[in-house]
Amino acid sequence: MKKRFLLVVALVLVAAMLVGCASKPSSVLDKIQKDKKVLVGTSADYPPYEYVDDAGNKTGFDIDLMTEIAKRMGVELVWVDMPFDSLVAAVSSGKLDMSISCFNYDTERDKIVDFSEAYYTTEDAFVVSNTFTGTIAKPEDAANYKVGVQSGTVQDGWLTDNLVTPGLLKEANLSRYERVDQAALDLANGRIEVLMADYVPVQALVAQNPNLKVVYHGELSTGPINIVLPDGDAPLKAEINRIIKELQAEGFIDKLAVKYFSN
């Protein structure tokens, strides 16, 4: 009798475990569809990709794109604004379903997260003040000056790998900032001499501050930009890629580029 009782208990426990496994979402996409909402991270300090307007609303190229993606997924979009260098870890740990913030593919990031297909292509730029008397004919020339960059960006990685590590740029002469607008402020005030960032946001910074100018731009660390996704989540990646291709084919993304990037 006791053995039969123990067998029944064991079968009940196994059944409960099977039910639990069956109800657990196999993909973040399942969770998103079940909850009817998607939790998306961004760092809203990078116009025209993502920023906060005068009314306090998030806006920009990435913001409009993600809004349309969520609409086509049939779910509510919930934004989480956090420092750029925290976004990848937040997706990797499951705190975010995905993140969009002018991300370029990076081999180090690819070890812990996945990437959607590219939805746009960018360049890098060096910007200086109008009082700058130096010369940046090639990217490596930046090593001769005090340089600022947003922490955790691919530009940060490029400066570290190509200038700091080889000994061309002293570590003390590289300032890392949580937000690119903080770096631009220090540039305008003479605390740094050169700012490296994505070319499109740099154009916006220069338009807002006539005392700044672009002295070089080209594809160095940047290129195609992607949405950061949980590592190995094939169903979610397939769905996001499907929608991106759909938006590209319809000309939706081209229209966003004209809206936010044209002069």
d(CA 243, CA 65): 10
Q: Is residue 105 pLDDT above 50, yes or no? A: yes
Across residues 107-129, what is the average pLDDT? Answer: 93
- pLDDT at 1 exceeding the cut of 60: no
Are the C-beta atoms of residues 201 and 48 closer than 8 Å to each other? yes
Percent of the chain with pLDDT over 90: 72
The answer to whether the beta carbons of residues 96 and 230 sit under 8 Å apart is: no
pTM beyond cutoff 0.75? no
Q: Mean of the pLDDT values across residues 134-154? A: 94
pLDDT single digits (tens) 199-227: 888 888 888 888 999 999 998 987 789 99
Cβ neighbours of residue 221 under 8 Å, at least 6 residues apart? 104, 124, 153, 154, 155, 157, 158
Q: What is the mean pLDDT of residues 8-13?
A: 42
Class of CATH domain 124-218 = alpha beta
5 has pLDDT over 60: no
Number of CB atoms found within 10 A of residue 218's CB: 12
Alpha-carbon span 73 to 71, nearest angstrom: 5
**143 with 160: CB under 8 angstroms?**
no
Least-confidence region, from 11-20, 52-61, 104-113:
11-20
The structural domains of the chain, with segments of one domain joined by +, span 31-121+225-261, 124-218
Look at residue 259 in the predicted model and tell me its pLDDT: 86
- 224 φ/ψ angles, rounded to the nearest 5 degrees: -65, 140
Least confident of 4-8, 16-20, 65-69, 85-89: 4-8
User: Does the fold of domain 124-218 match that of domain 31-121+225-261?
Assistant: yes
Q: What integer is the mean pLDDT of 168-183? A: 93
Q: In the CATH scheme, what architecture does the domain 31-121+225-261 have?
A: 3-Layer(aba) Sandwich (3.40)
**pLDDT on residue 36:** 98
